[in-house]
Amino acid sequence: MRRIQVVATGGTIASRGGVEGRRATVLAKELVASVGPLPAGVEVSTRDVVTRGSYAFGTADLLTLVREVRGALHAGADGVVMTHGTDTMEETAFLLDLAFDDPRPIVLTGAQRPFDDRAADGPANLGDALAVAADEAARGQGPLLVFDGFAFPARGVRKSDTMSAHAFTAPGRGPVLRVVDGRVVPLSQPRPRPRFPLDLDLPDLPRVDVVPVYPGADGLFVRAALDAGAAGVVVAAVGAGNAGPELVEAVAEAVASGHPVLICSRVHSGPVAPLYAGGGTELHRAGAVFADDLSPWQARLLLAAASAVPGRSPEALVRAWLAGEDPPSGS
């Protein structure tokens, strides 16, 4: 018997329509009941943590969700399924990825259409998530996001459609499992994941802001972020990791004052690299860290988590993680 703990947090999967708009109200037991017969040999217990839209979560809420998963694993669950709003599911999945190297499956899912929609996609997604969480093929894959028949690893998964039931992709990486009529089909072998020294009992993560680049973007938002107390900044750069001279200057000031800056792209797919004179090469020269193909939203959590580790260089922790290495000791 596989014991799966369902942790419900709200989102569209738990929402019903109303005069003010959709609102999450459906609790975990009703969600599980909507799936119909459970896969053979699976025993499910449920827990409601919050019942909200994920657009309203702060980083302290994300840490609470991570602690819920820790509690379920400590209590001996063979797998955990978290129902969650799709808007920020890629962030919670990523934080879970930093938090756990436990081989037991941790699976997030949700829905694009509400619980009371006549074509609700939540029951099928939750059924697939339970099948994945109970399957040997999901062990050692790290936290997975299961949606519309595919399971994506946490790192690199992105919401890529605002409305479609095929809401998630992992550009350049792809899914690792597929669910076909309740059967889990492996598409690739688990990849090693670097460990990360995240303290799950922190009340919150340090502030890290994302600053967008666009024609005419200057240093205003980088400086404003540091004035607001940010430990560092993620730049959602243009193209392969470029920004104009005024923004580059503000990045150089930030790095010189001990605030790490990560460079990601506002482009949906592909890695960043310091290639262009006066753009990426200048950001590189200023000491910014190019964050591979990480989205600005996941990079923000990586830098915030690294900035929360006492007595360690956040930049060294980030660089090691990006290189696929375990954390350097005593950096």
Q: Which residues are at the interface with ligand ASP (CB under 6 A)?
A: 11-12, 53-55, 85-87, 110, 112
Which stretches of 155-244 are DSSP H helices?
A: 220-227
End-to-end CA distance of the chain: give it in Å, rounded: 44
Minimum Å gap between C-beta 125 and ligand ASP is 11
* Nearest CA-CA partner of 178 in 152, 217, 140: 152
Query: Between 91 and 97, whose beta carbon lies closer to ligand ASP?
Result: 91
Measured CA to CA in angstroms, residue 226 lies from 9, 219, 250, 265 at distances of: 32, 11, 10, 21
Q: Which residue is nearest to ligand ASP (CB)?
A: 85
Q: What is the DSSP letter of 279?
A: T
Catalytic-residue membership of 86: yes
Provide the minimum distance between the beta carbon of 12 and ligand ASP in the complex, in angstroms, as a whole number: 3
3-class SS at 213? Answer: coil
**Residue whose CB is less far from ligand ASP, 82 or 254:** 82
Q: Is 162 an active-site residue?
A: no
**Catalytic hit among 9, 51, 86, 88:** 86
Give the residue with the Cβ less far from ligand ASP, 104 or 159.
159
Give whichever of 110 and 175 is closer to ligand ASP, judged by the CB atom.
110
Q: Identify the active-site residue in 12, 83, 88, 169.
A: 12
User: Smallest Cα–Cα separation from 295: which of 250, 328, 264?
Assistant: 264
Spatial distance between the Cα atoms of 265 and 139, rounded to a whole number of angstroms: 31
Q: How far is CA 278 from CA 246, 270, 282, 294, 298, in A?
A: 11, 21, 5, 23, 26
**In the complex, least distance from residue 155 CB atom to ligand ASP, rounded to whole angstroms:** 20
- Name the minimum Å distance from CB 262 to ligand ASP: 24
Which are the catalytic amino acids?
A: 12, 86
